Structure 1
Amino acid sequence: MAASLFDSQLYASLFSAGDISRLFSDSAEIRAMLLVEGALAKAQGKLGLIPEDSAAAIGRAVMEVALDPGALTQAAGQNGVPVPGLVSALRDEMNAPEHAQYVHWGATSQDIMDSALMLRLRQALAAVETDLLILLTQLSDMADTHANLPMAARTYGQLATPTSFGAVVATWGQPLAALLEELPTLRQTCLLVSLSGAAGTSSALGPKASELRAELAAGLSLVNPHRSWHTDRSPVLRIADWLTRACTSLSKLGTDCLALRQSGIDELTTITAGASSTMPQKQNPVAASALIALASQATAQLSALHHAAAHQHQRDGASWFGEWLSLPQIVFCAASAARTAVSMTKGLAPDAKQMLRNLHAANGTIYAEALSFALAEQMRRGDAQTAVKDLCAKAAQEGVPLQEVATAQFPELDQATIFDATRQLGSAPEEAQRFVRTVAALKGRKEST
């Protein structure tokens, strides 16, 4: 088994992070750091901090050179960061000492690496957002179609009251829609440029340090934080938290689909089931299981990321290294979960006949709450509940529907309303339609930006 399943050819289709996996490759990190170095030189040249011809030469070089990650291995191991080796290699490749001396002018390794990280996290967020929008469209269509399809709601794993499949779908999608509504603010407050120098004081960046940071932010289309955030990892934590919450919401989808396809319930059908090596009858809910596993992994890695967030003094290698170990895994989990959910829900459909059979299971006692409130109109609420408990016990003992024993004892009740699932849905259809409207509004705002 590969050290990371996200890098495995064997498990590539089970835990696929798509193009995001390439964002956290060595080559992608080097390319992002070079882009930052080039943007820094351009900003410094514009402000007259380094010669403009040197800035132009550096800008050309970062676009043209191809640095081999293997050539930076020894330097990265010795220095704890790849930037010194990268800067040295870039200067050598430029073959123009008069210009190369201005590479990395006044910056520190963390400025380059954190800014490069944000460039890649920006792409990762965009990719996850795209998949979640596709998923929400699929779920919205499903909720709209089945807003009034009755099924059994379950609490503590037991039959509770009737709901609709559309409302259940809405519970899968609403948290995801809320997450996408958070994204503009997240981007504006967390996708930050970093430029504060060796100890966060910008001392080597000169009197135009603040102006330079703003120029670099504009050049990279990142946000200017107006401060140093070398040891404040809250921007990274908030992005990781958003990705983990996406995993958790998708895990709810997986958990419910796993349960609703369980033998004896069988209320969902899918075209993405897996086969057993020895049991021909099996149709294993592989995708649903993957969603649950991915959320578990992301949550564990987020905990580790929080542990690594408290940096000592103005720079802390140990804590920073811990971030490197955990953050990519969280990104991969979210990307893989979103892609998996899109694929799984394409072939997902309710089995209306089985849902109806399950509504009638357990002697129809799913209507006990409705019956107790109907009786409460003619007796005390406590007495009504006691009476219905007795009726449920009698139905179970005699193996007959609750409606039958209730009719015998209380013939004056409106049995057609009490024991009709379509008339006991409460707000379920509206919950489904509210979700449909939420997704439509979300897509409308996205299209207008």
Structure 2
Amino acid sequence: MSTSVLDSVVYRHLWGTDEVRGLLDETARLQGWLDILAKLAEAQAEVGIIPADCAQMICEHADVALLDIDEIAEQTRATGHSTLGLIRCLQQVLPEPAREWVYYGATVQDLTDTWFATVMRSVGDIVQRDLKTLESEAVRLAVEHRDTIMCGRTHGQPGLPITFGYKAAVWVSELRRHLERLREGRTRWEFVQLGGALGTMEFWGDAAVPMLRAFARRMELKVPEIPWLTSRDRISEFVTLLAMISATIGKIGQEIYELQRPEIDELQEPHKHGTVGSITMPHKVNPEISEHLVTLSRLVRADASVALEGILSEHERDGRSWKCEWVVVPEACQLACVATRLAIDLLSGLRVNTQRMRDNLIARGGYVQSAAALRTLSGSVGKHTAQQLLYDATMKGIGDRSSLAEALLSDSRIHRYLTADQIADVIESADVLGSARYFIDTVIQNGGAS
């Protein structure tokens, strides 16, 4: 029985995807390691290190279905070595001539780090695909709601008018930068690891570098300029990017979580009939998706902090660094990928209450126009003096529960410079959005650049 929600039959749909799980579960990992051993044998045969017929035998038998996983586990415990149990079990199914040539001169990190490079490549493909879909959903919202006026908020309080399209365009821009980081980062992550005991490849003599190149070619990965046994920055960067992507997704979820509060009621996440919010309060419809995106984001950020610790690696090999990665890399991949999929569902089914957005703006009694009043009054008395006058008037008006127009008209110092008609023009001005639409259009038009 599973002890982790990531693998729980009941809960795993919330903590990962079957697609990523299929890349990372134990059978897939062991098969990935066996595939690497097969490619290594082929590369060694190509440069004359091991016999070609033995390399062929290794390739033919590098199949997890031929091995007893329980026996691998028992041998791993017996030897206390991370991969020797696998090697011994593979040797048992190999023809006798090939047994001494498998895993020839390689070490644990040659196997496991190269596998992580393939994981970063595969998960990178998945994240890139799903981020593009998520970006498209955010673009759709930005276009559809370019002119949907709503209350912008700072420090959780009503500020100035914006449009919902402007908010969505901010999301679009941020998601595109993550796509750019992903494309750039892949040029640094997708490298084989093949260094032998300390990274010097001394075991293979003069054939070492040709073998390295042959191995990288077969793995469809790049050749590093130097083995990266203690250089964990590649994996740290990858997990950190997953954390950044998850943080953006969490931010989107948090925004939707807040704006669907009934007292605000500007957004509602998709809700399927039959979904129960509470077994004690039947009326409740909880923000399950948006809330969970924040949870996932917190966990991936925690994984990133552990991955960053790996950079502080000691001497020429330090198991304290890369063994932590065995935990945080698969977890971060699962959590980030399910977050992206859930975010797509959230935005694609998001309900935007445009009337409520307008009503909430009107309910502010015109105070969201205080900046326009400040701009107008500044021309007569200067900006800082105008700010103080308006501060005094608006604080009194809010306390008296009067509108902005009433607050300004009741202050003789302001009324000295602004007539009732000028105040009405400020309150009713259609020019309340500044350059918001320009920025939305710029983001949309720059879509091809992403």
TM-score by length of 2: 0.92
**Cα drift, residue 38 of structure 1:** 0.8
- Report the Cα distance in structure 2 between the residues aligned to 1:16 and 1:88, rounded to whole angstroms: 32
In structure 1, the partner of 2:352 is 350
Contact between 2:233 and 2:308, CA under 8 Å: does it hold in 1? Answer: no
Within the candidate set 303, 321, 324, 1:322 is matched to 324
**Cα drift, residue 318 of structure 1:** 3.1
Contact between 1:200 and 1:230, CA under 8 Å: does it hold in 2? Answer: yes
- Report the Cα distance in structure 2 between the residues aligned to 1:397 and 1:93, rounded to whole angstroms: 84
Percentage identity across aligned positions?
A: 27
Contact between 1:150 and 1:422, CA under 8 Å: does it hold in 2? Answer: no
Partner secondary structure for residue 161 of structure 2: strand
In structure 1, the partner of 2:444 is 436
In structure 1, the partner of 2:200 is 201
Partner secondary structure for residue 16 of structure 2: coil
The 1:436–1:102 alpha-carbon spacing in structure 2 relative to 1, beyond 3 Å, is same
Given the alignment of the two structures, is residue 377 of structure 1 paired with residue 376 of structure 2, yes or no? no
- Runs of 4+ in structure 1 off by over 4 angstroms are 412-417
Contact between 2:27 and 2:64, CA under 8 Å: does it hold in 1? Answer: no
- Report the Cα distance in structure 2 between the residues aligned to 1:181 and 1:191, rounded to whole angstroms: 16
Contact between 1:38 and 1:62, CA under 8 Å: does it hold in 2? Answer: yes
Contact between 1:150 and 1:421, CA under 8 Å: does it hold in 2? Answer: no
Q: Give the alignment's Cα RMSD to 1 decimal.
A: 2.2
Partner secondary structure for residue 316 of structure 2: coil
Given the alignment of the two structures, is residue 361 of structure 1 paired with residue 369 of structure 2, yes or no? no
In structure 2, the partner of 1:45 is 45
Partner secondary structure for residue 161 of structure 1: strand
Residue by residue, what CA displacement relative to the aligned partner does 1:262-303 show, whole Å, maximum 9, x if unpaired? Answer: 231111023237522222332211111111111111111222
- Report the Cα distance in structure 1 between the residues aligned to 2:63 and 2:223, rounded to whole angstroms: 24
**Cα drift, residue 370 of structure 1:** 1.4
In structure 2, the partner of 1:445 is none
- Report the Cα distance in structure 2 between the residues aligned to 1:51 and 1:403, rounded to whole angstroms: 90
Residue by residue, what CA displacement relative to the aligned partner does 1:353-404 show, whole Å, maximum 9, x if unpaired? Answer: 1111111233221111111111111222122112222331343244332134
**Cα drift, residue 48 of structure 1:** 1.9
**Cα drift, residue 64 of structure 1:** 7.8
Residue by residue, what CA displacement relative to the aligned partner does 1:323-351 show, whole Å, maximum 9, x if unpaired? Answer: 22222221122112111101111111321
In structure 1, the partner of 2:14 is 14
- Report the Cα distance in structure 1 between the residues aligned to 2:362 and 2:313, rounded to whole angstroms: 59
- Report the Cα distance in structure 2 between the residues aligned to 1:81 and 1:345, rounded to whole angstroms: 47
In structure 1, the partner of 2:141 is 142
- Report the Cα distance in structure 1 between the residues aligned to 2:288 and 2:18, rounded to whole angstroms: 18
The 1:413–1:70 alpha-carbon spacing in structure 2 relative to 1, beyond 3 Å, is farther
Contact between 2:232 and 2:322, CA under 8 Å: does it hold in 1? Answer: no
- Report the Cα distance in structure 1 between the residues aligned to 2:64 and 2:155, rounded to whole angstroms: 61
The 1:418–1:218 alpha-carbon spacing in structure 2 relative to 1, beyond 3 Å, is farther
In structure 2, the partner of 1:419 is 427
Given the alignment of the two structures, is residue 276 of structure 1 paired with residue 278 of structure 2, yes or no? yes
In structure 1, the partner of 2:303 is 301
Contact between 1:148 and 1:166, CA under 8 Å: does it hold in 2? Answer: yes
Contact between 2:195 and 2:227, CA under 8 Å: does it hold in 1? Answer: yes
- The answer for unaligned runs of 5 or more in structure 1 is 443-449
- Report the Cα distance in structure 2 between the residues aligned to 1:86 and 1:65, rounded to whole angstroms: 13
Residue by residue, what CA displacement relative to the aligned partner does 1:161-183 show, whole Å, maximum 9, x if unpaired? Answer: 11110111122232221011122
Output aligned runs, 1:22-421, within 5 Å: 22-63=22-63, 66-94=66-94, 96-272=95-271, 275-406=277-408, 409=415, 410-411=418-419, 414=422, 418-420=426-428
Paired residue type of 1:224 = V
